[in-house]
């Protein structure tokens, strides 16, 4: 059986957490070596605290995901390093979607409450249309995010292959019980 990073879900911002006995310097060096080997497809950087891996700018599309890898010493076992990774959209994309979800929620709560109150008091309300508008905005944002996930699935697979190639060179464990 081949040893691969297990990601629990590929739906929204997939994550992984593994442990390794390799030093931080070895981990950084390995990531940098793999970035140099895959420089036609994958780009990024690694420093003392984390690494960022994404598709090269010329290959990147609007929905292209990126991988953030962080590492730190394990508090319970000083021999181990905890490596955490999260694959998600670029921060500007993530912020845009969170803005639209927040906007739809704010519209639903504020204007929806006002509309329902006005309707109960006067029997009519022009603001009642804010409720379906807010729900349609939330639904449209959700559908757009699902379309984006489908479009970026190939890019996600490339990043997943990259992280597995990195961890082929470094022995890792999914549990602390080594």
- Write out the chain's pLDDT in tens, 178 residues: 456 666 655 566 788 888 888 889 999 999 999 999 877 888 899 999 899 998 887 777 777 889 999 999 888 888 889 999 988 888 888 899 999 999 999 999 999 999 999 999 999 999 999 999 999 999 999 999 889 888 888 888 888 888 888 888 888 877 666 5
CA dist 69 and 164 (Å) reads: 13
Q: What are phi and psi of 20, to 5 degrees?
A: -145, 155
pLDDT of residue 11: 61
Q: How do strand 172-173 and strand 81-89 relate by DSSP bridges? A: unpaired
pLDDT of residue 10: 53
pLDDT of residue 1: 42
pLDDT of residue 166: 87
pTM for the model: 0.75
pLDDT of residue 6: 65
Looking at the chain, list the stretches that DSSP marks H as alpha helix, in order from N- to C-terminal side: 24-37, 91-122, 130-151, 153-169
pLDDT of residue 7: 62
pLDDT of residue 132: 95
CA dist 147 and 111 (Å) reads: 29
CA dist 82 and 77 (Å) reads: 10
CA dist 53 and 66 (Å) reads: 6
125 has which bridge partners? none
* Nearest Cα to Cα of residue 173 among 22, 23, 10: 22
CA dist 63 and 86 (Å) reads: 16
pLDDT of residue 154: 85
């Amino acid at each position: 059986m081949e040893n691969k990073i297990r990601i629990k879900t590929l739906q929204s911002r997939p994550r992984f957490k593994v442990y390794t006995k390799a030093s931080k310097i070895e981990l950084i060096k390995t990531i940098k070596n793999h970035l140099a080997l895959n420089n036609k497809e994958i780009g990024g950087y690694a420093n003392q605290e984390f690494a960022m891996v994404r598709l090269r700018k010329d290959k990147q599309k609007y929905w292209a995901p990126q991988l953030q890898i962080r590492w730190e010493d394990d508090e319970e076992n000083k021999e181990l390093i905890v490596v955490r990774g999260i694959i998600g959209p670029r921060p500007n994309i993530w912020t845009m979607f969170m803005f639209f979800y927040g906007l739809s929620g704010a519209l639903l709560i504020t204007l929806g409450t006002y509309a329902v109150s006005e309707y109960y008091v006067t029997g009519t309300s022009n603001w009642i249309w804010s409720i379906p508008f807010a729900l349609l905005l939330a639904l449209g944002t959700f559908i757009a995010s699902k379309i984006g996930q489908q479009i970026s699935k190939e890019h996600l697979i490339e990043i997943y292959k990259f992280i597995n190639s990195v961890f082929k060179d470094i022995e890792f464990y999914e549990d602390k019980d080594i």
